[in-house]
Chains A and B, each alone.
Chain A
Amino acid sequence: MRSATISVLVENESGVLARVIGLFSGRGYNIDSLTVAPVERDGSKSRITIVTQGTEMVIEQIKAQLDRLVPVYKVLDLTEGPHLSRELALIKVLGTGEKRAEALRLADAFRARVIDATTESFTFELTGATDKLDAFLDLMRPVGLAEVSRTGVAAIARGVGTIE
């Protein structure tokens, strides 16, 4: 088993996300994370980033199945080379007194920004690799973690190479 981060460049038409998701549910593949947004200036293409897990054979299948979809331009397995993955999380922490101060100290160590505050709460914004976000959330739990909203992973290859 391995984890794979796959970028899929698709025609930005209605139903394309449903095709991708239907493929995963219909064939019993995992989705750990899935993000999508238009990436072309005219909005004609979108990029879907999927984090999935499987044996080498299953991951090859996933890529081939994605590539077979009519509105798919390109499938790129970023895990085959050096690449960058980032996720953004908005994290609400409730508390007063010493817990509140501790929350701020931890946020500082992780370079999380405070984007909203009341006398009983902070909302942090944190960007980073998935494991960094996970670590931050683990630490925040005893300090008053109340709510999380995560974007899922966006990823890109290192160096000069591009998906097209």
Chain B
Amino acid sequence: MDGTIQAAEMMNSGAEAILRALKAQGVDTIFGYPGGAVLPIYDAIFQQNEIRHILVRHEQAAVHAAEGYARSTGKVGCVLVTSGPGATNAVTGLVDALMDSVPLVCLTGQVPTHLIGNDAFQEADTTGITRPATKHNYLVKRADDLVRVIHEAFHVARTGRPGPVVVDLPKDILIGPAPYREPAHVQHRSYRPRTEPDPRRIEEAVALLKRARRPVVYAGGGIINAGPEASRLLAEFVRMTGFPCTNTLMALGAFPASDGQFLGMLGMHGTYEANWAMHDCDVMLNIGARFDDRVTGRLNAFSPGSKKIHVDIDPSNVNKSVAVDVAVIGDALAVLKALIAAWKQDGTVQDRGALAQWWQQIDVWRSKNSLRYTQSRDTGAIIKPQYAIEQLYKATRGRDTYVTTEVGQHQMWAAQYFKFEKPNHWMTSGGLGTMGYGLPAAMGVQVAHPDALVIDIAGEASILMNIQEMGTLAQYRLPVKIFILNNRYMGMVRQWQELLHGSRYSQSYSEALPDFVKLAESFHAVGLRAEKVDDLDRVIAEMLAVDKPVIADICVDEKENVFPMIPSGAPHNEMLLGPEHKGHDKPGVTDAGMALV
């Protein structure tokens, strides 16, 4: 990084210099956990009031909390953990952030420089371990480099395709004096991400789009990362073109779910209309998505007849799995601006007749109503998980609601039945699929938005993976609502075993579960339970009325499966529909498909 040439000011300790750099970077919250190697930073935190430290109960949770904070605010999340086990505990969170492009800076303690390589107490090769787990990482070996590296870490985390950055800090660097410099203007020597698109590619894209007869817009998490303005422009573009729009799991909220042009989520558990539109379209505009295998299904059968335009800030995402016709490298916001301008400029008249026919076809697919399910209203009837989400959504409409999830069937039902109108209100672990993400992520969201309603839609198995964070909720009075769809199974595992492994439910029953009501109470929270459909609305209302953390244990149908489903290795047009749909058949999963996850 050049451009930090102003006179340096000597700080008493590296730890103080770090805190000053964090403040200069706009950090107001650190999620962390102390230990020997980072005590100097904890001492510096003690002696100031500008930065708030949230003490988690496990380092993995610190990282997920910072992810929730970052994804709900658009800011860089900040984590502080000690050397050795502190750093290794953080690794799952780092990979999670890497896969989902979440900007984080994680400061890790390290043994003093002269002990590195000696198998010292609580030494781990943190930069070695986290190299493939981060966008970039640093080991600071000289006090002179310390502040530059911290500023640079934030720059790298936030720009281009965002991601997690680790800064490993030997204890002697934290204790000894260190020079402080302002981040002046950050210009990295080798790192120069491209954000402005090539105008020629924009013209080519618009030429294809104007002539499209069966277009579809496939929008991904890149839109969310480009900021709320990008979501606004996406809606503007979709409305001015009259095109249908589908969102990936990561992008829910980027386009308003209530809009008539929204086809719902696509992919393995996407709607019938979204996946068929992808399969049958003639021009596909992918903005900020990466042709993930959960979206494409079998590659050689993926949208066989379409011209594909791919907008991505990361050139390595282009032509990785799906060959495209026009690649536009740039930030989604800059590209959407350029697309809208070029669309207005291009004199070609759209074939509105063809588009109307396409919408007729889409309406036929829509009329399948692929998310249909039946909830019995008889007294004492068992709760369908889909119904629980719909009732939760209805009860929270109109409120500023943020939803996080764990991983499993409940995550998919949340994605299918909870409707998001705005970006940054939905946080889920998409790329890594990390059980245990939702509770700490919700904690981070609630810290950033103290007055908002924050709900973790959970499964009874996932929630136990970071349940210790109930303590953090209590300590900081974070009124997070944990809404457990308790099906007494690792439902998603059970579903695959039912469909692919002859219903041999190996190790997927949630045996010896805790009493979640008592568990909540022992953590100073409120515990509620709904056992029958008659209890559901009352429990939801009570949960929403309490200004405290709540666990709502919603006992749901144990055997329910997530539909529609594109089995691994199958093409989009071989989607399975639920038992509601007549003629529902068993999946035609090939041997190759069985090998996929």
Residues of A within 8 A of B318 (CB): 64
Q: Do A14 and B139 touch (CB < 8 A)?
A: yes
A61 to B316 CA separation, bound complex (whole angstroms): 6
Q: Are B132 and A67 in contact (CB-based, < 8 A)?
A: no
The CA of A22 and the CA of B315, in the complex, are separated in Å by 19
Contact A11 B189 (CB under 8 A): yes
Across the interface, which residues of B come within 8 angstroms of A26, CB to CB?
A: 132
CA–CA, A48 to B315, complex, Å?
21
Stretch at the interface among A69-77, A79-87, A109-117, A120-128: A69-77
Residues of A within 8 A of B316 (CB): 61, 64-65, 67-68
Q: Indicate whether A70 sits within 8 Å of B136 (C-beta atoms), given known contacts A10-B190, A19-B131.
A: yes
Contact indicator A60/B319 (Cβ below 8 Å): yes
A10-B190, A70-B156, A71-B190 known; A15-B131 Cβ under 8 A = yes
A61 to B156, CA, bound (A): 21
> Which residue, of A10, A69, A70, A71, has the highest number of chain B Cβ atoms within 10 A?
A70
Q: Considering the chains assembled together, what is the distance between the CA atoms of A86 and B168 in angstroms?
A: 39
Distance (whole angstroms) from the CB of A6 to the closest CB of chain B: 14
Interface residues of B in 304-333 (CB under 8 A from A): 314-316, 318-320, 323
- Minimal beta-carbon separation of B134 from chain A (angstroms): 10
Looking at A10, A18, A64, the one whose CB has the most chain B CB atoms below 10 A away is A64
Residue B121, interface by CB 8 Å: no
Give chain B nearest CB distance to A34 CB in angstroms: 17
A112 → B minimal CB distance (Å)? 39
Interface string of B184-217 (1 = CB under 8 A from A): 0000111100000000000000000000000000
- Check A61–B320 contact: CB distance below 8 A: yes
Name, among A11, A14, A67, A68, the residue most crowded by chain B CB atoms within 10 Å (CB to CB).
A68
Q: Does A57 contact B (CB under 8 A)?
A: yes
Asked if B514 is an interface residue, CB under 8 A from chain A, the answer is: no
> What is the distance, in angstroms, from B326's C-beta to the closest C-beta of chain A?
15
- Tell me the residues in window 1-57 of chain A with beta carbons closer than 8 Å to chain B beta carbons: 10-11, 14-15, 18-19, 22, 26, 57
* Nearest CB on A from B231, distance (A): 26
Give the distance in Å from the alpha carbon of A61 to the alpha carbon of B323 in the complex: 12
- How many angstroms between the C-alpha atoms of A72 and B320 in the bound complex? 20
Q: In the complex, which of the residues B128, B132, B156 has the most CB atoms of chain A within 10 Å of its own CB atom?
A: B132
Q: Could you tell me how many residues of chain A have their Cβ less than 8 Å away from some Cβ of chain B?
A: 20
- With both beta carbons as reference points, the residue of chain A lying nearest to B161 in the complex is identified as A68
A67 to B128, CA, bound (A): 20
Q: Inside 8 A of B132's CB, which chain A residues have their CB?
A: 22, 26
Query: Shortest distance in angstroms between A58's beta carbon and chain B's nearest beta carbon?
Result: 10
**Interfacial chain A residues near B191, Cβ < 8 Å:** 70-71
Looking at the complex, which one of A11, A18, A57, A72 makes contact with B128 (CB distance below 8 Å)?
A18
Contact B190 A18 (CB under 8 A): no
Do B314 and A68 have beta carbons less than 8 Å apart? Answer: yes
Closest A residue to B317 by beta carbon equals: A64
B410 contacts the other chain (CB 8 A): no
Q: Determine if B127 is an interface residue (Cβ-Cβ < 8 Å).
A: yes
CB-CB under 8 A from A72, the residues of chain B are: 190
B481 interface residue per 8 A CB criterion = no
CB under 8 Å from chain A, chain B span 155-185? 156
Shortest C-beta distance, A14 to chain B (Å), equals 7
12 contacts between A and B (CB under 8 A): A11-B189, A14-B139, A15-B127, A15-B131, A15-B139, A19-B131, A57-B319, A64-B316, A65-B316, A70-B156, A70-B188, A71-B191
The 9 A-B residue pairs whose C-beta atoms are closest, nearest first, are A64-B316, A70-B136, A73-B190, A64-B315, A70-B191, A65-B316, A68-B316, A11-B190, A26-B132
Beyond contacts A11-B189, A15-B131: 19 other A-B pairs, Cβ-Cβ < 8 A, are A10-B190, A15-B127, A15-B139, A18-B128, A18-B131, A26-B132, A57-B320, A57-B323, A64-B315, A64-B316, A67-B315, A67-B316, A68-B316, A69-B136, A70-B135, A70-B188, A70-B190, A72-B190, A73-B190
